[in-house]
Structure 1
C-alpha cells in the first residue's frame, strides 16, 4: 500500500511539472541532444557499478572470498529489489544473500551493508558541503541548506566514529520511537556496534573503503554533469557539485517512488539560473535512468536473490 501511495505522489508531482512546462520543448531537448555525450553519460553506469562492486569486495573479511563477478551480481540484484521493495530493502536482502551463500555471518553481513550505506550518505554529504561552501551566489536559502547539510555530515561522522555517541543516540531513539520501530532500531544498534568493532579494528581497510566511497560519489556527480553536456546545456562543474547533491537528497525523502518527482522538481528549481525548465525536466528523466538502468541490467540476477527476500519477509 505504501508503495502505491509513493507511486501516486510521484505521478502527481510529474503531472504538475509537465503541466507547467512546454512538453513539446522537452521532447525537442532530447531530439537536439549530443548523442556522443549522451552515450558516454549513460554508459557511466558501468564503471560506477564496477567501482561499487570492488568496494563491496574490500568490505569483506580477509578470510572470506567474494568474486568480482558475484559482487557485481549482488549490486545489480539489489538495484532491482530497491525499485520494488520499500526503504532500500534490496540492500538488506543483499546482506541475507551473502549470509546464505556462506560468505559471512548474518549479523556481520548486515553490519557491512549498514556501513556501506553510511559511507554512501556521508560521501554525498561531504561533496555537497564542499560544493555549497564554494558556491558563489549564496542567499539565505543556500546558507540554510549549507548549515543543514553540514550538521548532517557532522552528525553522521560522529555516529560512525564515536561508539559512545552512537550508543547515546540509539538508546535515546529507542526510548522515543513507536513500538513498531523499536525492534528495528535495536537490531540496527547491534549491527552498528559490530560494525564499529570490525572496521575500526583495521584502519587501512577503513581508509580504502572511505576513499573509494568518496571517489564513487565523484563519479555519480560527474555523470550528472555529463548529462547536462549531453543536453547541450552548461553549468560549471563546481556548481554542479553543489547543486546535484541537493537534488539527490530531495529524492531520498520517503515520499515518492525512487525519488521520482521530488528529484525532478529540485533539479528544475536549483538549476533555473543555468537552463530552462524543459532542460531541467529532461535532466530529471536522465537522473531517474541512473536507478532504472542498473535495475534493468540486474533483472537476470533477480531470481538468485528472491529466496533471500522471501526469508527476510518471513
Structure 2
C-alpha cells in the first residue's frame, strides 16, 4: 500500500470516528431495521441498470470496427470498479484503457482519450444536475449562492474544455507551466490525449449528442437512486432539493482527501441534509451511498485477476 492511499484511509477512519462518536449505534441499527424493504431492494437494485447503461455508453464510444461486445463492456466497467477500490489514482480506469488497447486493438492514445471523455462526461453531467438543483433550491443562503457560482464556473470551464480545442490546448499549456515538473509531464500527456479526444469525438456530432444525452440520463438515475435511498430509510427530502444536495455530497467525496470518498461524503450528507432529517438517518444514507461503489466492485470480483494482470502490464510499460 502506498503512502498516499494509507493517509487517505487514515483520514477516512478519523472522520468516521468523529461522525459515529456523535451518533448512537442503536439508533442507526434501528433505522435499517425499520426501513422500507421494498424501496431498499429497488434502490440498491438500481446498481444493475446503472451498470448496464454505463457499459452500453462505453460500447458506443469504441469505434464500431473494433467490435467491443456488450458483455465485454460490462466486464470492463465492473473490473475497473474493483481496481478503483483497491488501487490508487483511479488505476481501474487507466487499466480499462490499456485493456481496450490490448483486447480490442484500439490505439493507446485513443483508448486513453475514450476513458478521459467518459470521465469528463460523468463529471459535467454531475455538475449540470448540481447547478440545476442549486438554481431551484428554495432556501439558498450565502454559502449556497457561493457554491452555485463556483460550480457553475466549473461547468462552464468543463464545457469549454470539451468544446474548444484552442481553449483546452491553452488551459493545459498554462497548467503545465505553473505545475511541478512531475505533474507538468502528466499534464502534457493529458493535453495530447485531449487533442486525440477532440479529433475523434467532434468528427461525429451524432455520436457526441448520443453520448451527452446518455451521460445526463445516467446521472439522473444516480441521483434518483440516492433519493430512493432516503425513501427506503422512511425519511423525506423533496426530490428537487435532493438534486442540489446529493451532487454536492458526491463532489465532496471526490476531493482527494479520503479513501473512495468515505468520510467526506458522509460528513457532507449530514451537513447538507440537516434541514430534512437527523444525523443518524444521514449517516445511514452515507452507508448506502458507499454501497453504490462497493456493490459494483463486489460484482466485478470475478474479473479482478484479469484486470490486475492488465494493470501490472501497464505499470511495467510506463
Q: Please report the TM-score for the alignment, with normalisation by the length of structure 2.
A: 0.98
The corresponding residue for 1:192 is: 194
Task: Identify which range, 114-123 or 173-182, moves more after superposition.
Answer: 173-182
Q: Alpha-carbon deviation of 1:103? A: 3.5
Structure 2 stretches lacking a partner, 5+ long: none
1:78 to 76, 80, 84: 80
The corresponding residue for 1:135 is: 137
- For residues 80-130 of structure 1, the C-alpha deviation after alignment (integer angstroms, 9 at most, x for no partner) is 000011121210110000101034111100000000000000000000000
The corresponding residue for 2:217 is: 215
The corresponding residue for 1:282 is: 284
- Number of matched residues? 314
Q: CA–CA distance in 1 between the matches of 2:171 and 2:276?
A: 41
Note if contact 2:68-2:104 (Cα within 8 Å) is conserved in structure 1: no
Q: CA–CA distance in 1 between the matches of 2:104 and 2:156?
A: 36
The corresponding residue for 2:174 is: 172
The corresponding residue for 1:104 is: 106
1:46 to 38, 48, 69: 48
Q: Alpha-carbon deviation of 1:4? A: 0.9
The corresponding residue for 1:18 is: 20
Tell whether 2:164 aligns with 1:162.
Answer: yes
Structure 1 stretches lacking a partner, 5+ long: none
* Greater than 3 Å deviation, 4+ residue runs: none
Q: Alpha-carbon deviation of 1:20? A: 1.1
Q: Alpha-carbon deviation of 1:63? A: 1.7
Q: CA RMSD in A?
A: 0.7
Q: Alpha-carbon deviation of 1:139? A: 0.3
The corresponding residue for 1:206 is: 208
Q: CA–CA distance in 1 between the matches of 2:219 and 2:30?
A: 30
Tell whether 2:40 aligns with 1:65.
Answer: no
Q: CA–CA distance in 1 between the matches of 2:298 and 2:125?
A: 26
Q: Alpha-carbon deviation of 1:182? A: 1.7
Q: Alpha-carbon deviation of 1:247? A: 0.1
Q: Alpha-carbon deviation of 1:9? A: 0.4
The corresponding residue for 2:255 is: 253
Q: CA–CA distance in 2 between the matches of 1:62 and 1:99?
A: 14
- Partner of 1:63, secondary structure, is helix
Q: CA–CA distance in 2 between the matches of 1:91 and 1:122?
A: 17
